[in-house]
Structure 1
Amino acid sequence: MTATLKNLEGQDDASILREIQAALNGLKFGSVEITVHNGQVVQIERKEKFRLPAPSNKIN
């Protein structure tokens, strides 16, 4: 449900790895997508899914 776009042009490898680590930090369900153009990481997108508890089917 959360999408974060990061523009990473001009950053060094260590900075890019820190951004990837930050995107993965705390992620339980979801994905991290890394976009590369011409051999350079240009975007990191984090998609997080939240699991809701199953509804109780109580009959009153």
Structure 2
Amino acid sequence: MTATEKKSNNLDDAQVLREIKNALNGLKFGSVEIAVHNGQVVQIERKEKFRLVTANQ
């Protein structure tokens, strides 16, 4: 798993919301976690789950 660091100096609310929307985009099963520190979003984490279906099912 990789992490992408983005400069967050004074991101406005619209930019933060765009990042959250990007994390949700295309997500079928999983979660998006938003970490807040001192009233500011400091991290957005996306966890995606894949279900493998066998030929017998």
- TM-score normalized with structure 1 length: 0.76
Larger strand proportion, structure 1 or 2? 1
The verdict on how the C-alpha distance between 1:3 and 1:30 changes in structure 2, with shifts beyond 3 A counting, is farther
Q: Which has the higher contact order (CA 8 A, sep 6+)?
A: 1
Aligned structure 1 segments of 4 or more residues deviating by more than 6 angstroms: none
- Letter matched to residue 49 of structure 2: K
Gaps of 5+ in 2: none
The verdict on how the C-alpha distance between 1:21 and 1:4 changes in structure 2, with shifts beyond 3 A counting, is farther
- TM-score normalized with structure 2 length: 0.80
2:52 aligned counterpart, secondary structure = coil
Gaps of 5+ in 1: none
How many residues in Structure 1 have an aligned counterpart in Structure 2? 56
1:35 aligned counterpart, secondary structure = strand
The verdict on how the C-alpha distance between 1:43 and 1:6 changes in structure 2, with shifts beyond 3 A counting, is farther
Q: 2:44 matched to which residue of 1?
A: 44
- CA distance in 1 between partners of 2:7 and 2:35 (Å): 10
